[in-house]
Amino acid sequence: MAVMTYIQAVNQALKEEMEQNEKVFVLGEDVGKRGGVFLATAGLYDQFGEERVIDTPLAESAIAGVGIGAAMYGMRPVAEMQFADFIMPAVNQIISEAARIRYRSNNDWNCPITIRAPYGGGVHGALYHSQSIEAIFANQPGLKIVMPSSPYDVKGLLKAAIRDDDPVLFLEHKRAYRLLKEEVPEEEYTVPIGKANTVRKGDDVTVITYGLCVHFAKQAAEKLEQEGINTEIVDLRTVYPLDQQAIINAASKTGKVLLVTEDNKEGSIIGEVSAIISEHCLFDLDAPIRRLAGPEVPAMPYAPPLEKEFMVSPEKIEQAIRDLAEF
């Protein structure tokens, strides 16, 4: 096994899928010769050529829309949005088209496109290079939204996304790209879409989260263990549609639930998680559901103290878990 960073796992998954299936191709801005601004596609242009690693014009609706057309034809396009913040011009294509193609054609057509986009803050990216955009897409049946938290999951989930017969929005935390590294098997494996993962066992408090916040939650939990507080951590992995049973099981297990997202709190993914728990776990709860999220401001500011104030951190999670444990 090789130690891989999160971004190297992205690259590895793309390479493996392109080697195995010549219908898989990549398109986006700067993905070719440059290898992507984060180097997610590094080396692919040299290995597979410009026909399968396509540098597109700077036009996000076309990146999505051309990919959608090719997917309906029978290809397996992987479209890259350079930053999740720039996905907005493609929203009509993703929601009105990709998400509805199977349903509106009564299962005649389908749209197996994967749209990758780096999201998230803590990288001095300010308002338009830091946003979490998953909530915009998270009430669109027909679409799947995957947000991996580790290099292992990145490889397995991205391969699963590319093989999926429906459109998948694959959101990668850009701060995780080089921050997170671990051993990743070189051999073939996939991680199932739609299934949450219990990344830590504990009896006192349950944390349900996804993406980079899983890493922060683990750090907090390790520290709290020394104080005798044992934390269960569930990584949603797929934030839409949600793995309801895993959420219900985890919430019922400890009766004290902390939900964490880097997104703004209102209308976020964790609001839906909270609703599921409220519907199913009323008599199992020993404390009110607690949410830790970004503040209700439009997006993350640039100046370091403001950015820090916005971001979820291990310290903030630690405090929230402790509060719940003591409730």
Partner 1 sequence: MVNQTYSLENDKDTLLAMYREMLLARRIDERMWLLNRSGSIPFVVSCQGQEVMQIAASFALNKERDYVLPYYRDLGVVIHFGMTTREIFLQAYAKGEDPNSGGRQMPSHFSQKQNRIVTGSSPVTTQVPHAAGFALAAKMEKNPAVSFVTLGEGSSNQGDFHEGLNFAGVHKLPVIFMVENNKYAISVPLNKQVACENISDRAIGYGIKGIKVDGNEAIEVYEAVKQAHQRALNGEGATLIEAVSYRLTPHSSDDDDMTYRTKDEVTNEKSKDGIVRFQNFLFEKGYLTETINDDLEAEIKKEINDATEYAENAPYADASTINNYVYGEKGDH
Residue 277, token pair as written in the block: 């728990």
How far from the centroid of its chain's Cα atoms is residue 159's Cα? 14
- Residue 327 engages partner 1 in binding (rule: CB under 8 A): no
Binding mask 174-203 for partner 1 (x = CB under 8 A): ------------------xxxx--------
- Residue 110 engages partner 1 in binding (rule: CB under 8 A): yes
Contact positions with partner 1 (CB under 8 A) in 150-179? 164-166
Measured between alpha carbons, how far is 281 from 297 in angstroms, rounded to an integer?
31
Question: Residue 294 in contact with residue 300, Cβ under 8 Å?
Answer: yes
Is the CB of 51 or the CB of 296 nearer to partner 1?
A: 51
Q: For this structure, is 129 an active site residue? A: yes
Pure H helices in 131-232:
134-137, 151-163, 176-179, 212-225
- Residue 304 engages partner 1 in binding (rule: CB under 8 A): no
DSSP state of 72: H
Residue 180 has φ and ψ, to the nearest 5°, of: -100, 130
Burial class (CB in 10 A: 0-12, 13-18, 19+), 75: middle
- Residue 115 engages partner 1 in binding (rule: CB under 8 A): no
- Residue 17 engages partner 1 in binding (rule: CB under 8 A): no
Considering the candidates 129, 173, 215, 280, report the single residue annotated as catalytic.
Answer: 129
- Residue 65 engages partner 1 in binding (rule: CB under 8 A): yes
- Residue 102 engages partner 1 in binding (rule: CB under 8 A): yes
Measured between alpha carbons, how far is 164 from 111 in angstroms, rounded to an integer?
9
Is the CB of 61 or the CB of 198 nearer to partner 1?
A: 61
List of E strands, 177-313: 181-184, 197-200, 205-209, 231-235, 238-240, 257-264, 290-294
Q: What would the DSSP string read from start to end of 88-123?
A: GGGHIIIIIIGGGHHHHTTTS-----EEEEEE--SS
Amino acid occupying residue 313 = S
Measured between alpha carbons, how far is 225 from 318 in angstroms, rounded to an integer?
11
Query: Please, what is the minimum distance in Å from the beta carbon of residue 164 to partner 1?
Result: 6
Query: Please, what is the minimum distance in Å from the beta carbon of residue 45 to partner 1?
Result: 15
- Residue 89 engages partner 1 in binding (rule: CB under 8 A): yes
Total residues in contact with partner 1, by rule CB under 8 A:
49
Is the CB of 66 or the CB of 293 nearer to partner 1?
A: 66
Question: Residue 286 in contact with residue 256, Cβ under 8 Å?
Answer: yes
Binding mask 117-156 for partner 1 (x = CB under 8 A): ------------------------xx-x------------
- Residue 92 engages partner 1 in binding (rule: CB under 8 A): yes
Measured between alpha carbons, how far is 196 from 246 in angstroms, rounded to an integer?
6
- Residue 226 engages partner 1 in binding (rule: CB under 8 A): no
Measured between alpha carbons, how far is 327 from 23 in angstroms, rounded to an integer?
54
- Residue 314 engages partner 1 in binding (rule: CB under 8 A): no
- Residue 272 engages partner 1 in binding (rule: CB under 8 A): no
- Residue 88 engages partner 1 in binding (rule: CB under 8 A): no
Name the site residues for partner 1 (rule: CB under 8 A): 25, 51-52, 54, 56-57, 59, 61-62, 64-75, 77, 89, 92-93, 96-97, 100-110, 141-142, 144, 164-166, 192-195, 241
Catalytic annotation, residues? 129
